[in-house]
Structure 1
Amino acid sequence: MKSVVPSWAGAAGSVVGVTELHVDPDRGYDLIGDIHGCAQTLEHLLDTLGYRQQGGVWRHPRRMAIFLGDLVDRGPRIREALHLVYAMVEAGQALCIMGNHEYNALGWTTPAAPGSGRQFVREHTPRHARLIRETLEQFEAYPGEWREFLDWFYELPLFLDAGRFRVVHACWDDSLIDPLRAQFADGCVDEAFIQASAVPGSFACTTMDRLLRGTDMRLPHGLTLTSEDGFTRAHFRTKFWADNPQTYGDIVFQPDALPELAAQTPLSELQKNQLLRYGHHEPMLFVGHYWRRGRPSAIRPNLACLDYSAVMYGKLVAYRLDQETRLDAGKFVWVNVERPERVS
């Protein structure tokens, strides 16, 4: 990005290229779930974690934040959230990976490859327009900033691997990450890869969908379900770590429950064998994306989801990672999203 002076910050700030991504496995990290424009709540969480604003940047003397993506869409202060996170990354106080909503924004604005039969990578359907509406409206008076943030999204890696722990927005899949890493050593893709992701069945399409949206399965018996946002679909999001699942209900991982008939339907042996499994022996993995509810906790000793529906008056959640190799239930920190956060 070029120099951006956020009017809300109250002081001029210089914004230059993102610092080189490097994860020091011996440093303390605060991993933070999906923000979706809840900038006020993010400030509250950072303050709770001991970060203080100095020179327009939230800083901690001994720790660094890692954001799990989905900074944009849905919330009331998307522009402020982007400036806050970007400033931290540029100052070496944070790392940030790409979420599916940053990818969606790139797809919305990236022309599709010739011969694809579409105008943009992400087609401008009414549903897609509704999902990105708040972001576009909040940047309507700042088109130059929005273009620069879109450029910055290309500098957000799809994953981070520190050896002892890993970070990805939705799902870790070595069968995709290994060849991706061979092509893009830093995990940051380019415009050609985004364009290629519009081709169903392509490596780019499969990679972006799996890493940023997770695994899914078609509902049995021709059933469909309608989510809270009114979208009717025939697929549901699945666990990628299930041990010995027997039914569809054993593998569902999304806010919307399956129809009872579907939940009780047995999985075939072929379906069981096709499920992705993140093993108990693997390094600690942190994901966002899945709109969890209740008291933040680990899914397994080596797996945590930090998305607790902040933009839906849930919780903005962090995990305070130090030198442990298995998750500690006492190190989840969160703040509740107060109703004023949703007032534009």
Structure 2
Amino acid sequence: MQGYDLIGDVHGCGATLAALLEKLGYHQRNGVYRHPRRKVIFLGDLIDRGPRIRLAVNTARRMVEEGEAHIVMGNHEYNALAYYHPAPVGSGQRWLREHSPRHNRIIQETLTQYRDYPSEWEDNLAWFMQMPLCLELDGLRVVHACWDEALIEQLYQRLPDACMTPEFLVESTDPDTQAYRILDRLTRGTSIPLPERVHIHSGDGFTRRSFRAHFWAKQPQTWGDVVFQPDNLPGDLEQRPLSPSEVARLSYYGPEKPPLFIGHYWCEGIPALPSANIACLDYSAVKYGRLVAYRWSGEQRLNADHFVWIPVPQEVNDRPRPWEIDFE
């Protein structure tokens, strides 16, 4: 083993994933992408939005099950599990995740592509439950959105393998529970509400009333010190001071800690390191950005030269063919 190749949010860009694996030196043998000296770690969010969701899931799953890759759960895999899990009797709702117009829209592309493969979809939902919420391997750490030391310690105390149980899944949909706090922080990170009647028209087509905050500013003072998303804050809100309650909500990951790899935050442009020991690998692939990997070989101080990426085709049907696996 020379190291790990960490791959950010795929979001159904299955053919681009195959092209990236080829670029990284992985080649398909017996239906599985393999490398003689390296393994992949997927950062979650395989599903939703993109043109080849089944291809993305099958490619990653085959690698994981053959020992060629690891994976952590993303918020979209979690959302799918809650969307399909019945709510407790007497809760007043049918499903753990409400089938609202917004939630329906997020998962619609996945359901469309699995419409003729219901058994395969059910089997993949069972596989999602086996995904850990975080990983610590050989001197690196991996989580989809935010590494919060205290909450991860609580998670390990309850679930030593960091994998959800059905009971934990049900509990995690109640905002007053420990399971919710763990799940929400690790897969979604921290969001700070915007002032009343202020909102962001996000690049993913949604209207947002909060912004995503990062967790590596040691003593943040303003909203601009912690905002971590491509959409600009309206007006002069970047200069707005953080309130004590907002500061209390933030996590902090210091520069002395092991290298950490995250996805989730739909960055844009050329991949760059937000911190010497943190790499975000979500570069808005499904919005025709880049599908990004980081080639880690044991270094404790990360190097931006170790990013590798494939631009996602501008046309949704423009799919690279030479590397594509046919699962039909």
TM-score when scaled to structure 2? Answer: 0.93
Q: Which of 54, 70, 74 is the aligned partner of 2:49?
A: 74
Asked if structure 2 preserves the Cα contact closer than 8 Å seen for 1:196 and 1:202, the reply is: yes
Identity across matched positions, percent? 53
Taking a change above 3 Å as real, the CA distance of residues 274 and 104 of structure 1, as seen in their structure-2 partners, is closer
The verdict on how the C-alpha distance between 1:278 and 1:94 changes in structure 2, with shifts beyond 3 A counting, is same
Deviation at 1:172, TM superposition (A): 0.4
Deviation at 1:221, TM superposition (A): 5.6
Cα contact 1:40–1:341 (8 A) shared by 2: no
For the residues of structure 1 that align with 2:139 and 2:111, how far apart are their CA atoms?
38
8 Å CA contact 1:163, 1:283 repeated in 2: no
Q: Tell me the equivalent position of 2:176.
A: 201
Match of 2:193 in 1: 218
Map Cα deviations across residues 26-81 of structure 1 (whole Å, 9 max, x no partner).
Answer: 65100000001111101110010000011111000000000000000000100111
Equivalent residue in structure 1 for 2:234, among 231, 234, 259: 259
List per-residue Cα deviations over 1:181-230 (Å, max 9, x = no partner).
11111111011111111211211111111100101112236532232344
> How many pairs are equivalent?
319
Q: For 2:173 and 2:88, locate their aligned partners in 1 and report how far apart those are by CA, in whole Å.
A: 8
2:250 to 267, 275, 299: 275
- Residues 1:139 and 2:139 aligned together: no
Cα deviation, residue 233, structure 1: 3.2
Q: Secondary structure at the match of 1:289?
A: coil
Q: Is the 8 A contact 2:216 2:275 kept in 1?
A: no
Q: State the distance in 2 between where 1:266 and 1:119 align.
A: 41
* CA 107–55 in structure 1, closer or farther in 2 if over 3 Å, else same: same
Partner of residue 132, structure 2:
157
Alignment partners' CA distance in 2, 1:296 and 1:232: 26
User: Alpha carbon RMSD of aligned pairs, Å?
Assistant: 1.6
Q: What SS does the aligned partner of 1:220 have?
A: coil
In structure 2, what is the Cα distance between the partners aligned to 1:63 and 1:206?
34
The whole-number CA distance in structure 2 between the counterparts of 1:124 and 1:271 is 30
1:106-125 to 2 correspondences below 5 Å:
106-125=81-100
Once the 2 structures are TM-superposed, how far is the Cα of residue 168 of structure 1 from its aligned partner?
A: 0.2
Q: Which residues in structure 2 correspond to 1:1-344 (within 5 Å)?
A: 27-162=2-137, 164-220=139-195, 223-342=198-317
For the Cα contact (< 8 Å) 1:240–1:275, is it kept in 2? Answer: yes
Distance 1:103 1:280, change over 3 A: same
Q: Could you say what secondary structure the match of 1:228 adopts?
A: coil
Give 5+ residue unaligned stretches, structure 1.
Answer: 1-25
Q: Does the CA contact (< 8 Å) of 2:14 and 2:55 recur in 1?
A: yes
1:298 counterpart SS class = coil
- 2: CA distance between counterparts of 1:67 and 1:306? 10
CA positional deviation for 1:269: 4.4
Structure-1 separation of matches of 2:112 and 2:180: 28
Q: Deviations over 1:246-280 (max 9, x none)?
A: 22122111122111232221223453354221111
Distance 1:221 1:149, change over 3 A: closer
Q: Give the distance between the partners of 1:141 and 1:221, measured in 2 at CA.
A: 44
> Equivalent residue of 2:236, what SS?
helix
| TM-score calculated relative to the size of structure 1 | 0.89
